[in-house]
């Protein structure tokens, strides 16, 4: 395939070429049924099978223990910011948060609409350049759950260990690092992730939750915003985003064929070390924003001496076939998103470009 850019977009983001080719091959006619997967009923046996298989693949890849439900919902991570407190935060309890940056702040803001919140730990004072010290967690008896953002997509930090919450359910927004490394799902009460970074296209949100947390949503909640609706209906209460689930299915098969999440982690480490090395070996020409211990394997953030030079970097990178290197508009600077589907060669090319750009401008 020609003309594939070096895609470092933050999300929606790169998909594996093999997955796109498979989708292309099956686009017009899916498995001999005389039409595409988009044109059949979600109540058909073909979709039911796809729904089941996609859940099973996720369970297998993450070794999800019994007692957890996998659901395919809509509305993105942003709807989960509301659904989590609507379903799990009862009167007299508080939603606790580890405050790590822009996305955790959005989750906090939304939770405040539904009840009381508290900050268990924060790195705000350090401009979100690290994950806070988890041994100092301030978790009260009134905690309904503790919410963490396992990877802050904008700042570029990632949890390297999980907080110990005892009996308090741990809720993880894993929108930008799901399936990028092995994970002990049993430590979580609930995990959610919009698909459009590591799992597939936008349009579907994966929720993995412990059965007992989601089987009885508060009675007053709207039907579509209750976890128990979707859990009982096996994600078929209403019309699901069939094509997005289909694409997630292909991505999960791709991960499996490539050896699973442990292999993804190994590759992600190799990929990111190329770019972090280019930063660290630049003598300050490139400056990492995050303290090295907490650097993300998914979103590499860095700055240069001036905004002018950053603009030049972005412009020249685009002329050289790189896409998506401009930092998020809220924080500026530069960002390379290196999700599972971003090939090693793209990271090699970026590291080489960075070194070359430095030679010409340093
Ligand atoms: N959480 C994180 C960590 C994210 O990166 C994003 C999207 N960039 C969201 C939540 C919001 O997701 P969505 O756009 O699917 O609502």
Q: Provide the CATH number for the domain around residue 114.
A: 3.40.640.10
- Centre of ligand 1 to C-alpha 258, Å, is 26
96 and 244 in a single domain? The answer is yes
Instruction: Return the structure tokens found at 91.
Output: 């009167």
Residues 253 and 270 in one domain: no
CA atoms lying within 13 Å on the CB side of residue 27: 6
| Final residue before a domain boundary, out of 210, 233, 257 | 257
Residue 282 Cβ inside 6 Å of ligand 1? The answer reads: no
Residue 14 and residue 197: Cα distance in Å, rounded?
7
**Is it the case that residue 110 has pLDDT exceeding 90?**
yes
Note the pLDDT of residue 288.
96
Name the domain boundary from 257, 280, 297. 257
My answer on whether 183 and 152 are in the same domain is: yes
Residue 329 lies in a domain: yes
Residue 2's pLDDT band (boundaries 50, 70, 90)? Answer: low
Q: What is the pLDDT of residues 269-326, one digit of tens each?
A: 999 999 999 999 999 999 999 999 999 999 999 999 999 999 999 999 999 999 999 9
Residues 74 and 198 in one domain: yes
Binding site for pyridoxal 5'-phosphate, by residue number, is 77-78, 103, 153, 173, 196, 238-239
Cα(16) to ligand 1 centroid in Å equals 20
CB 227 within 8 A of CB 71: yes
pLDDT digits (tens, 9 = 90+) for 154-204: 999 999 999 999 999 999 999 999 999 999 999 999 999 999 999 999 999
Active site residue 197: yes
Structural domain includes residue 241: yes
| Binding site membership of 85 for ligand 1 (Cβ less than 6 Å) | no
Compute φ and ψ for 157, nearest 5 degrees: -110, 155
Angle at 290 between CA 284 and CA 296, to 5 degrees: 120
CA angle centred on 337, ends 300 and 85, rounded to 5°: 95
Burial 110-125 (b: 16+ CB within 10 A, else e): bbeebbbbeebbbbee
Shared domain for 131 and 214, answered yes or no, is: yes
Ligand 1 contacts CB of residue 77 (under 6 A):
yes
**Does 150 sit in the ligand 1 pocket, CB within 6 Å?**
no
Same domain, 297 and 194: no
Looking at 203, 236, 257, which one is the last position of a domain?
257
Q: Is residue 331 one of the residues assigned to a domain?
A: yes
Do 165 and 203 fall within a single domain?
yes
Active site residue 173: yes
Whose Cα sits closest to atom 4 in ligand 1?
Answer: 175
For range 247-256, the mean pLDDT: 98
Whether the model pTM is above 0.90: yes
The pair of structure tokens assigned to 10 is 């933050």
Verify that 234 and 326 share a domain, yes or no: no
Kindly state whether residue 12 falls inside one of the protein's structural domains: no
Specify the pLDDT at position 3.
Answer: 86
In a domain, 2, yes or no: no
With respect to residue 354, please indicate whether it lies within any of the assigned structural domains: yes
Question: 129 with 157, same domain?
Answer: yes
Q: List the CATH number of the domain containing 274.
A: 3.90.1150.10
What is the spatial distance between Cα 52 and Cα 208, in angstroms, rounded to a whole number? 14
Specify the DSSP class assigned to residue 252: H
Please state, in angstroms and rounded to a whole number, the distance separating the CA atoms of residues 177 and 149.
10
- Is 158 in the same domain as 52? yes
Q: What is the pLDDT of residues 60-108, one digit of tens each?
A: 999 999 999 999 999 999 999 999 999 999 999 999 999 999 999 999 9
Pocket lining: 188 vs ligand 1, CB cutoff 6 Å? no
Ligand 1 site-directed mutation target among 176, 199, 207, most atoms within 8 Å of CB: 176
In short, whether 76's Cβ falls inside 6 Å of ligand 1 is: yes
Q: What is the residue range of 222's domain?
A: 18-257
Domain annotation covers residue 7? no
pLDDT digits (tens, 9 = 90+) for 15-31: 999 999 999 999 999 99
Claim to verify: residue 206 and residue 122 sit in the same structural domain: yes
Q: How many whole angstroms from 29 Cα to the centroid of ligand 1?
A: 32
Same domain, 42 and 166: yes
Catalytic residue selected from 197, 253, 271, 326? 197
Cβ neighbour number for residue 98 with a 10 Å cutoff: 22
Instruction: State the distance from the centre of ligand 1 to the C-alpha of 64, rounded, in angstroms.
Output: 23
The number of domains in the chain is 2
Exposure b/e, 213-237, CB count within 10 A at least 16 = b: bbeebeeeeeeebbbebbbeebbeb
Whether 60 is in a domain gets the answer yes
């Amino acid at each position: 395939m020609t003309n594939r850019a070096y895609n470092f977009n933050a999300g929606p983001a790169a998909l594996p070429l093999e997955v796109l080719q498979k989708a292309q091959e099956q686009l017009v006619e899916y498995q001999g049924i005389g039409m595409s997967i988009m044109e059949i009923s979600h109540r058909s046996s073909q979709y039911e099978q796809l729904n089941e298989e996609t859940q099973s693949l996720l369970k297998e890849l993450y070794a999800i223990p019994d007692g957890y439900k996998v659901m395919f919902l809509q509305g993105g991570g942003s709807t989960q910011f509301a659904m989590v407190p609507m379903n799990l935060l009862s009167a007299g309890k508080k939603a606790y948060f580890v405050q790590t940056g822009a996305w955790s702040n959005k989750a906090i803001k939304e939770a405040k609409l539904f009840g009381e919140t508290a900050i268990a730990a924060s790195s705000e004072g350090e401009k979100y350049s690290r994950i806070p010290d988890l041994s100092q967690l301030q978790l009260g008896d009134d905690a309904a759950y503790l919410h963490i953002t396992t990877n802050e997509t904008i700042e570029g930090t990632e949890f390297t260990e999980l907080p110990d919450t005892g009996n308090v359910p741990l809720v993880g927004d894993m929108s930008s690092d799901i399936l990028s490394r092995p994970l002990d799902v049993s430590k979580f009460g609930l995990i959610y992730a919009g698909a459009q970074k590591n799992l597939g296209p936008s349009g579907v949100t994966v929720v993995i939750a412990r059965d007992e947390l989601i089987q009885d949503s508060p009675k007053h909640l709207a039907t579509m915003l209750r976890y128990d609706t979707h859990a009982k209906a096996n994600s078929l209460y209403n019309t699901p985003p069939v094509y997005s689930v289909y694409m997630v299915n292909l991505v999960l098969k791709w991960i499996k064929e490539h050896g699973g999440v442990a292999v993804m982690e190994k590759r992600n480490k190799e990929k990111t070390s190329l770019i972090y090395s280019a930063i660290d070996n630049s003598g300050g020409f490139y400056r990492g924003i995050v303290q090295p211990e907490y650097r993300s394997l998914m979103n590499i953030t860095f700055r240069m001496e001036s905004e002018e030079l950053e603009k030049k970097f972005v412009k020249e990178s685009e002329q050289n076939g790189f896409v998506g290197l401009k930092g998020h508009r809220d924080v500026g600077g530069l960002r390379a998103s290196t999700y599972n589907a971003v090939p090693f060669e793209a990271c090699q090319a970026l590291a080489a470009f960075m070194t070359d750009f430095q030679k010409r401008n340093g």
